[in-house]
């Protein structure tokens, strides 16, 4: 029997979703601080150095280019030794809690070799209480997977849910990369434009343009490449799921094969969650309505195709 819709709305399942969301949000807050210190703050310091160098606003002439370079290096080191390890810790714990949700709702086994030990119940309790949507009684985490999958047998519904997971994450990351490209281009062109406009020397150019961009140059490309790697992995999993769907409607795959595929796909989904770059909540929330509408349409299409292939099936 397919119990995905029923199980995903049980109190413990909702609590797990709230806890993992709170953990991801905490990691994203740290990431935001990392970006603010690493890019805007350094740019402001660079502009202050430029103002002192050109004696704008009647300021006394003073060379603080070394401070600009030092701040860029400092924030780059903080990224490597402080911010990134802390983000990784929160992200892994969130991925494990979300995996407990999927294991229960999608009726998948817990592979301790792949996932490690199950998260403590205390962690779920503590982090769920830090989620304002959960504590305010919001229905934000209800119907995590499309309710239309209720019309499919469990093994088939599980694959459809996993495909939705892959597509959703892949779409967000493609949009995220485009945003990074735009921010990097605007930042670079702005600093270069200012530098050229005030006739900076080569030394000043490297001190006031290259140095401020150093944190972005270490963070931006890494985010883009990590997202590309994640998209590639997600695309591979989605292709495997698409191929399995063709076999399902043709009656060329059995329940054991579908379950084995789901177990393998879930391991890939977990690894992605554990190591993928974070996507800001505001971006995900902005795209949520459109993505929900898209997944609803595609799931309805899968249900229609399955019923056409198996007209005598009754869930």
What pLDDT is recorded for position 95?
97
**What pLDDT digit, counting tens, does each position of 245-254 carry?**
999 999 999 9
List, for residues 110-138, the tens digit of each pLDDT value.
Answer: 999 999 999 999 999 999 999 999 999 99
pLDDT of residue 247: 97
pLDDT at 203 over 70: no
pLDDT in tens, 55-94: 877 888 887 777 777 777 787 788 888 888 999 999 999 9
Model pLDDT, residue 89? 94
The answer to whether 108 and 102 have CB atoms below 8 angstroms apart is yes
What pLDDT score does 58 carry? 82
pLDDT of residue 219: 72
Per-residue pLDDT at 181: 87
- Is residue 243's pLDDT more than 90? yes
- Percent of residues, the chain, with pLDDT higher than 90: 65
Per-residue pLDDT band at 198 (split at 50, 70, 90): low
CA atoms of 67 and 253, how far apart (whole Å):
64
Query: How confident is the model at residue 48, as a pLDDT?
Result: 80
For range 266-270, the mean pLDDT: 97
**Quick check: 274 pLDDT over 80?**
yes
How high is the pLDDT of residue 220? 78
Q: Is residue 11 predicted with pLDDT exceeding 60? A: yes
Q: Mind giving me the DSSP string for 197-261?
A: HTT--HHHHIIIIIHHHHHHHHHHHHHHHHHHHHHHHHHHHHHHHHHHHHHHHTT---HHHHHHH
């Amino acid at each position: 029997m397919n119990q995905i819709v029923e199980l995903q709305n049980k109190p413990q399942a909702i609590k797990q979703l709230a806890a993992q969301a709170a953990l991801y949000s905490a990691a994203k807050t740290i990431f935001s601080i990392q970006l603010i210190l690493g890019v805007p703050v350094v740019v402001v310091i660079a502009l202050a150095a430029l103002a002192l160098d050109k004696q704008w606003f009647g300021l006394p002439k003073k060379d603080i280019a070394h401070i600009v370079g030092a701040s860029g290096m400092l924030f780059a080191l903080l990224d490597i030794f402080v911010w990134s390890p802390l983000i990784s810790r929160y992200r892994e714990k969130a991925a494990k809690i979300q995996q407990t949700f999927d294991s229960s709702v999608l009726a998948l086994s817990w592979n301790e070799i792949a996932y490690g030990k199950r998260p403590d119940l205390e962690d779920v309790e503590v982090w769920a209480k830090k989620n304002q949507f959960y504590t305010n009684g919001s229905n934000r985490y209800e119907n995590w997977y499309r309710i239309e999958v209720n019309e499919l047998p469990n093994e088939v519904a599980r694959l459809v849910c996993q495909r939705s997971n892959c597509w959703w994450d892949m779409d967000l990351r493609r949009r995220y990369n485009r945003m990074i490209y735009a921010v990097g281009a605007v930042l670079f062109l702005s600093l270069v434009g200012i530098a050229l406009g005030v006739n900076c020397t080569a030394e000043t150019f490297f001190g006031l343009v290259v140095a401020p961009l150093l944190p972005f140059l270490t963070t931006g490309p890494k985010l883009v490449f990590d997202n590309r790697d994640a998209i590639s992995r997600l695309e591979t999993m989605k292709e495997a799921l698409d191929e399995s769907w063709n076999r399902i409607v043709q009656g060329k795959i059995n329940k054991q094969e579908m379950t084995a595929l789901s177990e393998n796909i879930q391991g890939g989904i977990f690894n992605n969650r554990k190591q993928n770059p974070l996507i800001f909540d505001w971006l995900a929330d902005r795209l949520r309505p459109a993505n929900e509408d898209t997944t609803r349409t595609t799931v309805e299409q899968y249900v229609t195709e399955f019923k056409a292939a198996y007209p005598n099936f009754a869930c």
